[in-house]
Structure 1
């Protein structure tokens, strides 16, 4: 029996080697993309930490105790509040708050 033409063996071997080559190249591409995203993730992580640290310093400075006087509302017992309506050009009433101090 005839084993087959030697050219067929050569073509089959070439197809198989091309398959292995393409598979290797695709795995290299996937590894390169994976490395790219992991390095981007690391750089974003370090940038986030530096920003967080900077804002932490700002927050500590802002939250430092300040010596401010206690501001409470001043109540005048002799003040009478009157609400007088005003009318604008369109005839719509506008309310204005006025005070009459004695």
Structure 2
């Protein structure tokens, strides 16, 4: 008993080949667009460098050096009190407390 018309297999194969063909063409078009954009980007950068060199702007500028500030921070309204605390064994524990009033 025949499962289906033999032409269906041929049409299915043709649709699949068309799908592969369209996918391949889309990849080629995408690659072409990417190459055009890369070319435009390179051309713009070359033109920009030429303009910079013509105007004398292309000199490298060094970044300013930032020295770390290691001086101690002094708060004039803060009093430092070291108060001894005693734990359960009678051993003194020193704790640093601040009064910011």
TM-score scaled by length of structure 2: 0.53
The answer to whether the aligner puts 1:7 opposite 2:4 as a matched pair is no
Tell me, in whole angstroms, the C-alpha distance in 2 between the residues paired with 1:3 and 1:48: 68
CA RMSD of aligned residues (A): 2.1
State the match for 1:21 in structure 2: 21
State the match for 1:78 in structure 2: none
- 1:22-46 CA distance string (max 9 Å, x none): 1111111111000000000000000
TM-score scaled by length of structure 1: 0.53
Q: Which has the higher helix share?
A: 1
The answer to whether the aligner puts 1:52 opposite 2:52 as a matched pair is yes
State the match for 1:40 in structure 2: 40
Tell me, in whole angstroms, the C-alpha distance in 2 between the residues paired with 1:9 and 1:17: 12
Number of residues of Structure 1 aligned to a counterpart in Structure 2: 59
Tell me, in whole angstroms, the C-alpha distance in 2 between the residues paired with 1:3 and 1:41: 58
Moved runs in structure 1, 4+ residues, more than 6 A?
none
Tell me, in whole angstroms, the C-alpha distance in 2 between the residues paired with 1:8 and 1:37: 43
- 1:3-59 CA distance string (max 9 Å, x none): 322100000000000001111111111110000000000000001001001111x8x
